[in-house]
Structure 1
Amino acid sequence: MCGRLLGRRIEWHHVIPKSQGGRETVPLHPICHRAIHAAFGNKDLARLYPTLDVLREQEEIAGFLKWIANKPPDFHAPTRRPRP
């Protein structure tokens, strides 16, 4: 999703959440995977962001991708959910 090389740790993301009937998975950095799920619930991912290309265009994810772009593959930082 972010365009960086994968590191030692990889998590598999259901593009359409498994709970919403999705089967396709893609490998992601753990921090990228957490950023997706911190920003959106499964229903929104399935309904509004059914592809990585659409997800990348979303403002919060686009900002995250700019921030993470130059970090090393195994970079880790706490992922926080936005405040309501």
Structure 2
Amino acid sequence: MNGTCDAITFSSLSLPRLLKDYPTLKKVDLADGEDFTDASNPDNAAIAKGQDAVLAKINEVIDGISADERQSMWDDCMDRQPA
């Protein structure tokens, strides 16, 4: 909008809100292997090496969050961001 870039990349969880807030944006889907090796949105947490029990618990909690609930949480975060 201000003429400083032609494209941006972002988490696909942000897509619904970005398209709502900026209706002139366009989503571009790239074919597999077109410069992006992993189009998923992995969740992550930094922990010290050797904390296998902690890692297992974190993964258990993340795995228990449905895609709809994850999108809802992300949307809530987006709602709190300044415009």
The verdict on a shared fold, with TM-score over 0.5 as the criterion, is no
TM-score in terms of structure 1 length: 0.26
Bigger Cα Rg: 2
Structure with the higher fraction of residues in strand conformation: 1
- State the structure with bigger RCO (CA 8 A, min sep 6), 1 or 2: 2
